[in-house]
Structure 1
């Protein structure tokens, strides 16, 4: 995988460049986690365990560049089990050292946005679970994964650009939508970036008191913007690619993933809201407001077949 990073003065900008050939070919995994209750009108709320006030002072005191993986797993075991389980699943991945900063515990905590984001990509796009543009997988949390997600190709995500009438996500738009390579990525890229962003955000939300720099300062923007891309992608699919719209709308795994990611984004944006000064720019909330525009809620509900709440419990269906 090719990676690019930019660190503007105000916010950090993470870009993962994905593409064909980054994973080996394998047969689709036939099973699917019971993430969203299917074919039921019962309300459903996305939640997952986290204890952001759990004491980790002893881990901080013992932290060193030699025990960072042990510290990472213990830290998240106490505060966010999904992070712990991902770290266990990916413990042998040789790329961790590229993303984890070990000069201090504070730098270590701050680097978790990038590290967990990237290792989520590594899990999702492993050759046993993903074949580019054909099917993919998404690590949701410690107990929920969706595998064997059919993609049926799709169309270049740059086609959503005409629907973006503001500059709120301009930095990410320039990379993911206007870049010659990135702009041509299809549904695979849209889903992969959103899922990684929804792991990077809680990774730093639960250790926010140790974050002193700007390395996690666009965590909320990444989640909000990638949800924006998904909703706009669905709108363009329906309006301009009806055959493709019909294919993915007929796939239960895709519908389940879209719904869970929408509710999950709401859940973690709410959890991280008290720390928006260090985990996101004011644009994150402005993008979120646009994500709840009637036309976006309408496409979500048409695609998933579920009604979502737009009040204080945005992480729930009705």
Structure 2
């Protein structure tokens, strides 16, 4: 199993649309355009190590416009080459989980948008980018470990929670990893037929696990850090972002579910089941002020 590992750093180098409103009575569903059956055979035939960025943008223009928009926004980033495989079209498509994940970090954590532990930014999709979302610092994310009673996310727990450096990251790290996971997953879901190797084999696990971390972080905030809890529950932009990310995770896990095995292990669905435990749904609904659906429309509020 491949695990995306980015050592988040305070020095890593738009307007919101259709955002949910905490406390609003209107139902809200997360959706975004994707066309996973659009023909890209001509792009496959012409692909080479020199035209990969042109191919990337054209591929996502047809299949996932949010990916095209992110690629255009980050086209000048010199770090793309670290993440993109160019030896074949199949390898290229498979590498998009890591490439889009990491380029989301690069966009979100650019110092022009994010001030570490003070406010963050999040590339949600082509029509929505959340800016200056207040964080109020927080506490080390490793504090959620006692609430994890299984080993379903153990490989990622070892990196993000037990690691001496990563475990000390606060809400900034929790939100950043979830947001990157929620671009890496659709990046490979829409080109799944080209993925033959293991380079995207935990895309679903990453999304489910990082949502787990966020929900548990909120529970620990309320139970052990009441002053911090009071601050963040008074931030509408943060509450909107949390709600959107919960619904967005449900949306893309459902879209990618037919490709379990290629894009994730069976543990992803087991982790998701724990994310819908009464305690987790209760903290989500208390924090966001919205009730979420737990039926076949999990990407919606009631």
Partner of 1:12: 2
Partner of 1:137: 121
1:95 aligns with 2:79: yes
Structure 1 contact 124–130 (Cα < 8 Å) conserved:
yes
Structure 1 contact 19–185 (Cα < 8 Å) conserved:
no
1:167-246 aligned within 5 A: 167-246=151-230
Q: Tell me, in whole angstroms, the C-alpha distance in 1 between the residues paired with 2:272 and 2:157.
A: 16
Gaps of 5+ in 2: none
Q: Tell me, in whole angstroms, the C-alpha distance in 2 between the residues paired with 1:39 and 1:32.
A: 18
Partner of 2:60: 76
CA displacement 1:182-212 (0-9 Å, x = unmatched): 0000000000000000000000000000000
Q: Tell me, in whole angstroms, the C-alpha distance in 2 between the residues paired with 1:34 and 1:238.
A: 28
Deviation at 1:32, TM superposition (A): 4.5
1:219-298 aligned within 5 A: 219-298=203-282
Normalised TM-score (structure 2): 0.98
Partner of 1:119: 103
1:317 aligns with 2:269: no
Give the RMSD, CA atoms, in angstroms.
Answer: 1.1
Gaps of 5+ in 1: 1-10, 24-28
273-282 vs 13-22, which deviates more?
13-22
The DSSP-based 3-state class of the residue aligned with 1:137 is: strand
The DSSP-based 3-state class of the residue aligned with 2:262 is: helix
Structure 1 contact 33–147 (Cα < 8 Å) conserved:
no
Structure 2 contact 49–86 (Cα < 8 Å) conserved:
yes
Structure 2 contact 239–287 (Cα < 8 Å) conserved:
yes
Structure 1 contact 140–146 (Cα < 8 Å) conserved:
yes
Q: Tell me, in whole angstroms, the C-alpha distance in 1 between the residues paired with 2:153 and 2:190.
A: 25
Partner of 1:7: none
1:20-169 aligned within 5 A: 20-23=10-13, 32-169=16-153
Q: How many correspondences in the alignment? A: 302
